[in-house]
Chain A
């Protein structure tokens, strides 16, 4: 197995900060296109991924196929031409002109000499005409249905129009058309199919909040038992996806873990079962502790079916559970390129990996009172083992540890004389005493200031504008004083005095 240096991908990462606002910002950027395309290449991946492009893309159907191909084409250096060619072929078989143009443009930038890199103007014009005619026809039909006031026909007319817009890449119009179906749905199964269509458009547009709200609607829908069991896996997967994108990895892990294996390839226009295994596995690794991983992931019978599709994820999790952190991290590192080329995982790989690594370091330190830096770096410094016999105090790994200690993740300190990490055993008694003394001091100070303020006001010594030095006459204050409190009360209670 080839071991890759930790910095597989170059480029500017915006690991988590950008993701926190993910749903909103992505939605704005991708008002009329899909997320990946509108943001431009997020990272450049120079390493060869482990998957075969053909067999990988064969897992998917529908519009996600093109989106994934396009993403691989723009991000990977190795697969660029191959993926973009496939993307162009895919686009040409559909009706979306803008994707075709994007793909051709991207190919022209990477490999201008390819035949496919030239725009097929004739096809474009013909298709645009066809699309326009089709739009007119469908809208005309819909108008006719509306005049007839037959609910079912209006619903179907809207559905046809929505599907047409979706196919031609006008996502905003598509989601509007689908939303218009709502009033004309008569059976729960109609509602369900409408919601699924809205969700799939929302996923493509990157509107994760809308995905979540529509998933909630789907959940509360009363449908037949069999349909419910048919819909459940899709619902969980869509929910998991939206949670992954909004950065709540634990929730995402829970949603993916709850996905029934009956998902199979029924949701291929969004994600495959392999994806569920990878997303769920990584999210779980990043957010759960060892007991939970063992109980809820490895011993989970239904999720096992997914894990069998991606055995390395299962291996990584079981290594983690058995405290064999190095093999676990090595596996993850080996697949880093793959995940960086995944349309949904791309932006979260770094965050997830950092969390997993931090958690491993934390777990590793639990049983130790002091650990030598050498033995730690044997496990956590990936790369050539013989290269660094003893860790230098300036090595990247020590620097990483220092950062972890400084941001409070690790409760230990580094001894650079003996090259060990010492776990801090703070004296609880002293800590409590210090906290008590501090709060006592704060209390006294605040009480003093408040008391002074009261008395300053009482003595008429507030800071007032120059020229207004006059203190209220004693008589006024004496006269007013007795009734002051009364006045406050009358104001408060609103009664007349």
Chain B
């Protein structure tokens, strides 16, 4: 037993060791350990797995812990003839171990057991689902993804996370993951060349996710479309329309090969509604969307487009009629909730528009000037007040001193305190800078992966010129060799 434990804890996480082990040795140790678990005789039959799990720490000996846990789960599954045995249900023994592991594992060691890691995550997710407690898994999986740090690579785990989030309606808990830029996908090509061993701090995420094929299941186009659609739904639930619209435009603008996915159609419908709710108008469709896709989308989302037209014209009666006519459509598309928010949004934008024309007017006038407002004049004051409070409208309300029930609405664009405004701009700029840097980094990575550096392009162009000119001389071969050298040099 103790021998076995010693074997398990032979390779501790580097964060907890004082001496420095070189990357190569550490790499070999981890690979050996992983290989050991592949042998059936490695775990002696006398050993109580549960005790072992108690004995070793998931944060220091993550690889051993994960493999042991997997073994234990497999054994239990075999014993109970059940995919999700009792111990794995929330509150159970195995569940506790799994959660403890997901919260504290060492991301470097896990690189050697990507497949096992994903299996555990999926088990946790389905266990939580099976017991109708998805919220318990959401946080654990979010933390696990956070620890793994895929640095912008989309994996199947992301999709699991957003699904669980939607099921559990705990929208804010997924935000830390959603707010990060995802811009890469695990390519299914295997690089033969490694600059660093897998365990090195310097190994870029693109490399290990590629090299550990198991860390994400095989993806299809539906997975990433769904992920962004679900992310948008989460943002919409939180009324973060800008982000929602961005996610939806990703789905709509997704590259296609002669066909349009129904997910894209759904996203387009929601995109129209999100923009109406967030901006009061539908912007022109992105130029990145192919014309044939636009045609399909337009023809399939016709009720939404005419609804948006009615909204844009401020024609409240027509909008009401459109909403009434389309009841079954909204219901079928599960957009009834969004559509029902349109009236509020309409009034909001009508009042904001007044601010461009008037600098002050009575609340009664508001009703007259925005004739499309769907409220009577007692409610309108409350509505305006709530808009001012939520910072949607820069204005102030004042009751007249004479005791008459006339409330004056002063709309002033510069009502905000100057210093406050500067601070606000500053934070936005900083956020923008971070986002820009991330994007730039990702673009550079993609450029590298696509071998798009200017030097390389220049070189290829040149070598083709050579080969074109000197085909007869047989120097074309030299150029090819050069090209290979260049490829290796990267």
B360 touches A465 (CB 8 A): no
Contacts of A495 in B (CB 8 A): 464-465, 467-468
Q: How far is the CA of A293 from the CA of B425 in the complex (A)?
A: 45
CB distance from B291 to the nearest CB of A (A): 15
Q: How far is the CA of A69 from the CA of B487 in the complex (A)?
A: 87
Alpha-carbon distance between A457 and B446 when the two chains are bound, in angstroms = 12
Query: Chain B interface: which of A9-17, A24-32, A258-266, A443-451?
Result: A443-451
Q: With A449-B249, A459-B187 given, is the CB distance from A417 to B362 under 8 Å?
A: yes
Report the number of A-B residue pairs with Cβ-Cβ less than 8 Å. 175
In the complex, are the beta carbons of A474 and B188 less than 8 A apart?
yes
Q: Does B71 contact A (CB under 8 A)?
A: no
Answer yes or no: A137 CB below 8 A from chain B CBs: no
- How far apart are the CA atoms of A450 and B253 in the complex, in Å? 9
* Known contacts A427-B414, A452-B250, A478-B189, A461 near B359 by CB under 8 Å: no
For residue B183, CB closer than 8 A to chain A, the reply is: yes
Q: Does chain B have a CB within 8 A of A383? A: no
A448-B439, A490-B464 known; A405+B255 contact, CB < 8 A: no
Contact A497 B464 (CB under 8 A): yes
| Separation of A402 and B361 alpha carbons in the complex (Å) | 13
B185 CB to nearest chain A CB (Å)? 4
Q: Which listed residue (B221, B223, B286) contacts A462, Cβ 8 A?
A: B221
Q: Provided the pairs A449-B249, A496-B468 are in contact, do residues A465 and B259 lie with their beta carbons within 8 angstroms?
A: yes
The one of A444, A453, A469 in contact with B439, judged by C-beta atoms closer than 8 angstroms, is A444
Q: Are A447 and B439 in contact (CB under 8 A)?
A: yes
A459 and B185 within 8 A (CB) = yes
Is B442 in contact with chain A by the CB < 8 A criterion?
Answer: yes
What band does the interface of chain A fall in when counting residues whose beta carbon is under 8 Å from B? 35 or more
**Quick check: is B55 within 8 A (CB to CB) of the other chain?**
no
Nearest B residue to A421, CB-CB: B359
Q: Tell me the bound Cα distance from A74 to B182 in angstroms.
A: 72
- Considering the chains assembled together, what is the distance between the CA atoms of A440 and B188 in angstroms? 34
Cβ–Cβ contact B446 & A453, under 8 A: no
Q: Is A437's CB under 8 angstroms from B428's CB? A: yes
Does residue B122 face the partner (Cβ distance < 8 Å to A)? no
Residues of B within 8 A of A478 (CB): 189-190
Q: Which of B220, B255, B483 contacts A453 (CB 8 A)?
A: B255
Q: Which of A415, A416, A469 has a CB less than 8 Å from the CB of B220? A: A469
- CB-based contact A415/B483 at 8 Å: no
The reply on A413 being an interface residue by CB < 8 A is yes
Among residues of B, the one whose C-beta sits closest to the C-beta of A457 is: B255
CA distance A497 to B242 in the complex (A): 48
A444-B432, A463-B260, A485-B457 given as contacts; is B254 within 8 A of A456 (CB)?
Answer: yes
Q: Contacts A416-B365, A451-B439, A455-B185 known; A489 to B464 CB distance under 8 Å?
A: yes
Tell me how far the C-beta of A405 lies from the nearest C-beta in chain B, rounded to whole angstroms: 5
Q: Using known A-B contacts A463-B264, A469-B220, determine if residue A474 contacts B356 with beta carbons closer than 8 Å.
A: no
With both beta carbons as reference points, the residue of chain A lying nearest to B436 in the complex is identified as A444
Among A463, A466, A496: residue with most chain B CB under 10 A: A463
Contact A406:B356 (CB < 8 A) given known A437-B432, A485-B460: yes
> Does A217 make an interface contact (CB < 8 A)?
no
Contact string, A419-455, partner B, CB cutoff 8 A, digits 1/0?
0001010110010010001001101111111111111
A176 at the interface (CB under 8 A from B): no
A413 CA / B355 CA spacing, docked (Å):
8
Say whether B359 contacts A440, CB under 8 Å.
no
Q: A459-B186, A459-B219 are in contact. Are A496 and B471 (CB under 8 A)?
A: yes
Q: In the complex, A443 Cα to B250 Cα: how many Å?
A: 14
Residues A461 and B221 in contact, CB atoms below 8 Å apart: yes
With a cutoff of 8 Å between Cβ atoms, the chain A residues found around residue B325 in the complex are none
Min CB distance B29 to A, Å, is 30
B442 touches A489 (CB 8 A): no
What mask results when residues 188 to 211 of chain B are scored 1 for a CB within 8 Å of chain A, else 0?
111000000000000000000000
Q: Which residues of B contact A468 (CB under 8 A)?
A: 257
Asked if B189 and A449 make an inter-chain contact with CB atoms under 8 angstroms apart, the answer reads no
Q: Which residues of chain A have C-beta atoms less than 8 A from B468's C-beta?
A: 493, 495-496
Q: Is A311 an interface residue (CB 8 A)?
A: no
Indicate with 1 or 0, residue by residue over B420-456, a CB within 8 angstroms of chain A CB atoms: 0100010011001001100100110010011110001
> What distance in Å separates the Cβ of A417 from its nearest Cβ neighbour in chain B?
4
A370 to chain B, nearest CB (A): 9
Chain A residue numbers with a CB within 8 Å of B483 are 482, 486
Please state if A415 and B360 are interface contacts (CB–CB under 8 Å).
yes
List of B residues within 8 angstroms of A486 by Cβ:
460, 464, 483
Q: Do B357 and A406 touch (CB < 8 A)?
A: yes
Residue A464 interfacial (CB < 8 Å): yes
Q: How far is the CB of A451 from chain B (nearest CB, A)?
A: 5
Q: Which residues on A sit within 8 Å (CB–CB) of B189?
A: 474, 477-478, 481
Q: Tell me whether A460 is interfacial, beta carbon within 8 Å.
A: yes
CB-based contact A463/B362 at 8 Å: no
**Complex contact A452–B221 (CB within 8 A):** no
Q: Nearest chain-A residue to B187 (Cβ)?
A: A459
At the interface, yes or no: B48 with Cβ under 8 Å from chain A?
no
CA of A461 to CA of B183, assembled, Å: 13
- A385, CB-defined interface residue at 8 Å: no
B129-156 interface code vs A (CB 8 A; 1 in, 0 out): 0000000000000000000000000000
Identify which of residues 147-195 in chain B touch chain A, using a CB-to-CB cut-off of 8 Å. 181-190
Chain B: which residue is nearest A464 at the CB level? B257
Within 8 A of B (CB), among A392-430: 393-394, 402, 405-406, 413-418, 422, 424, 426-427, 430
Q: Is the CB of A415 within 8 A of B358?
A: yes
Which of B219, B264, B413, B487 lies at the interface centre, i.e. has the most chain A CB atoms within 10 A of its CB?
B413
Instruction: Tell whether, in the assembled complex, residue B188 and residue A460 are in contact, meaning their CB atoms are under 8 Å apart.
Output: yes
CA separation between A30 and B186, bound complex, in Å? Answer: 69
Is B357 touching A402 in the complex (CB atoms < 8 A)?
yes
Residues of B at the A interface (CB closer than 8 Å) are 181-190, 219-221, 223-225, 242, 246, 249-250, 253-261, 264, 286, 288, 356-362, 365, 368-369, 408, 410-411, 413-414, 421, 425, 428-429, 432, 435-436, 439, 442-443, 446, 449-452, 456-457, 460-461, 464-465, 467-468, 471, 483, 487
Among all A-B residue pairs, the 3 with the closest Cβ atoms: A459-B185, A495-B468, A416-B361
Interface CB pairs A-B, < 8 A, 11? A413-B411, A414-B357, A417-B361, A422-B359, A444-B439, A448-B183, A459-B219, A461-B224, A463-B264, A464-B258, A477-B188
Given A414-B361, A444-B436, 16 more A-B residue pairs with CB atoms under 8 Å apart are A405-B356, A413-B356, A416-B365, A417-B360, A424-B413, A448-B246, A451-B446, A459-B187, A462-B221, A463-B256, A463-B264, A464-B258, A482-B487, A485-B451, A493-B468, A495-B468
